[in-house]
Structure 1
Amino acid sequence: MTDFESTDRPYAAFPVRIGLQVQPQHAQYADIRRTVAAAEEIGVDVAFNWDHFYPLSGEPEGLHFECWTMLAAWAEATERIEFGALVTCNSYRNPDLLADMARTVDHISDGRLIFGIGSGWFEKDYDEYGYEFGTAGGRLDALGEALPRIERRWARLNPRPTRDIPVLIGGGGEKKTLKLVAQHANIWHGFGDAETIAHKHAVLDEHCRTIGRDPGEIERSAGVGNKSPEDIGKSMLDVGTRLFTVSSSGPDYDLGLLRDWVAWRDEVNGE
């Protein structure tokens, strides 16, 4: 046991992993592809994109690319890393179709897909592409209805997925989202400082206990923003976070902070 581990949190048994969210905005695809390749060479564990149709920052009508066609390309372009969306918007695709898409990308990559999903929030995507935005509660209810359909479809597909595809659910809503995490997810992804994350972990643990699930089965993930491991690494580790994700946006993808986090991971894991 290292000085970083916390004995009262069962999910502390997971090794530290580092993710990179390559935000697919303001850049040509060739630049995105080179960034993912560079991240794999640096030693990242997981590469993520996101599921939007327009940039979330900068020029609102700037360069942007679609999520799942990109993930299929990453399945061929990478060799070692896991990858996925942080996160897929449940509203944009029929759940059974989405399950089949994920199964296909899983096979293309020889079992390296992480299936990240959430209820959706970016109203411009909905308006411009003709989806009903509705309410936050309604979108969460729809996610709750979709997840069992996705699981059932995976069990019926021929061929089936190469493995039990890890499901990552993003979002911190305590009454609905974290309950869905307890019921369906292998990874929970959230945002906030160590105190906020610790509270969310406690709520998630209680949802797990209510349904009889071991909280230690769920890996805890968080975005790090622009913070270095010296800023927040130990405090986040102490509350149970094990997957730390750096974000980088186009057009010039800066991977300096990613290198710092990868080096810190190796120190913590004793590599």
Structure 2
Amino acid sequence: MNDTYIPSGGPAGKLRRLAARQLARQPLQIVLNRALISFTFDDFPRSAAWTGADILERFGWRATYFAAAGYAGSQNHLGALFKPGDLLRLRTAGHEIGCHTYGHLDSGCAPVEAVMADCARNRRALAAMGHESELGVFAFPYGEASPATKKALSQRYRALRGVQPGINRGHADRALLKAVPLDGGKAGLARALDAVRDAAANPGWLIFYGHDVSERPSQWGCTPDFLDEVCQLAADLSCRVMTMGDALTRIETPQAERVS
């Protein structure tokens, strides 16, 4: 695994991303009477498993953690990555573990067979670490997808999350859900708070994705105060906060909206 890997850019990369957004869509009708928010963490650093989880738990909420088992016990630009014990701690506390491939593959370029095999390896590795529960959701490493990988992964997981910015409303794509980053310092915090306000004013499913949560975060992470401020606004605006799996169940059960 190469921590400095950068997905391909230029015309070819743009065309592939456009194709991924437009093709192999899996329709998901989202009709909500109140904003629904899911906090997700990719890779995932120990700081997200402890500091991030502690903040969310203070509000009574749980998150979805996308694990790439090949990173377990290692350290990179995000800090120390999760250990097997972190999986047990999160699962016991009610958080959700999702799939992020084993080797953090660029699923926009890798052959479909390689992506599916790497996901199977990830499930086996996480089970060997003690997490034998089903991995119901998937996040594309680097946010990179292709129509072929979307189609194949949709056969295995309830929903797939990308990194295209936005809030999921109306006719959404279950195979490439939009998300908003938890990074970028002051400007990123303003963007995240605006997204919460937007979701509250025009109810939709807002999925946040982050990485490390520390006082000196990486380029892809945030501080504890950043995350706490986002959570506080979500609470003040009476947003529902659920794991991705629980949010999907809520969305797929329209009668729950009518009686709440």
TM-score for both structures, normalised by structure 1: 0.49
By how many angstroms is 1:242 displaced?
Answer: 5.0
Match of 1:138 in 2: 110
- Map Cα deviations across residues 166-201 of structure 1 (whole Å, 9 max, x no partner): 132323423233223322211221222339x78x95
Partner-residue secondary structure (3-state), 1:194: coil
- Describe the shift of the 1:187–1:233 C-alpha distance in structure 2 as closer, same or farther (beyond 3 A): farther
Match of 1:258 in 2: 231
By how many angstroms is 1:229 displaced?
Answer: 4.6
Larger radius of gyration: 1
1:166 correspondence with 2:136 = yes
TM-score for both structures, normalised by structure 2: 0.50
- Map Cα deviations across residues 111-168 of structure 1 (whole Å, 9 max, x no partner): xxxxxxx5259xxxxxxxxxxxxxx6336541123446778x79xx9x9955x44132
Structure with the greater relative contact order (CA < 8 A, sep ≥ 6): 1 or 2?
A: 2
- Determine the C-alpha separation between the residues in 2 that align with 1:139 and 1:68: 29
CA-atom RMSD, angstroms? 4.9
1:119 to 95, 105, 110: 105
Amino acid in the other structure paired with 1:37: D
- Describe the shift of the 1:183–1:257 C-alpha distance in structure 2 as closer, same or farther (beyond 3 A): same
Q: Is the 8 A contact 2:42 2:211 kept in 1?
A: yes
- Describe the shift of the 1:45–1:243 C-alpha distance in structure 2 as closer, same or farther (beyond 3 A): farther
Q: Is the 8 A contact 1:222 1:241 kept in 2?
A: no
Q: Is the 8 A contact 2:161 2:175 kept in 1?
A: no
Match of 1:82 in 2: 95
Partner-residue secondary structure (3-state), 2:233: helix
- Determine the C-alpha separation between the residues in 2 that align with 1:259 and 1:253: 12
Partner-residue secondary structure (3-state), 1:184: coil
By how many angstroms is 1:259 displaced?
Answer: 2.4
- Describe the shift of the 1:49–1:148 C-alpha distance in structure 2 as closer, same or farther (beyond 3 A): closer
1:191 correspondence with 2:163 = yes
Q: Is the 8 A contact 1:188 1:221 kept in 2?
A: no
1:21 correspondence with 2:34 = no
- Determine the C-alpha separation between the residues in 2 that align with 1:120 and 1:190: 12
Partner-residue secondary structure (3-state), 2:151: helix
Match of 1:182 in 2: 154
Q: Is the 8 A contact 2:36 2:240 kept in 1?
A: no
Partner-residue secondary structure (3-state), 1:90: coil
Amino acid in the other structure paired with 2:36: V
- Determine the C-alpha separation between the residues in 2 that align with 1:23 and 1:160: 16
Structure with greater helix percent: 1
Gaps of 5+ in 2: 1-26, 183-187, 216-222, 242-256
- Describe the shift of the 1:174–1:244 C-alpha distance in structure 2 as closer, same or farther (beyond 3 A): same
- Map Cα deviations across residues 235-262 of structure 1 (whole Å, 9 max, x no partner): 6997964544455531352221232234
**Identical pairs, percent:** 10
- Determine the C-alpha separation between the residues in 2 that align with 1:150 and 1:22: 14
- Determine the C-alpha separation between the residues in 2 that align with 1:267 and 1:161: 28
Q: Is the 8 A contact 1:167 1:187 kept in 2?
A: yes
Gaps of 5+ in 1: 1-8, 57-63, 92-117, 122-135, 206-219
Amino acid in the other structure paired with 1:74: R
- Describe the shift of the 1:18–1:68 C-alpha distance in structure 2 as closer, same or farther (beyond 3 A): same
- Describe the shift of the 1:143–1:32 C-alpha distance in structure 2 as closer, same or farther (beyond 3 A): closer
- Determine the C-alpha separation between the residues in 2 that align with 1:68 and 1:43: 24
Q: Is the 8 A contact 1:20 1:258 kept in 2?
A: no
Q: Is the 8 A contact 2:199 2:206 kept in 1?
A: no
Match of 2:16 in 1: none
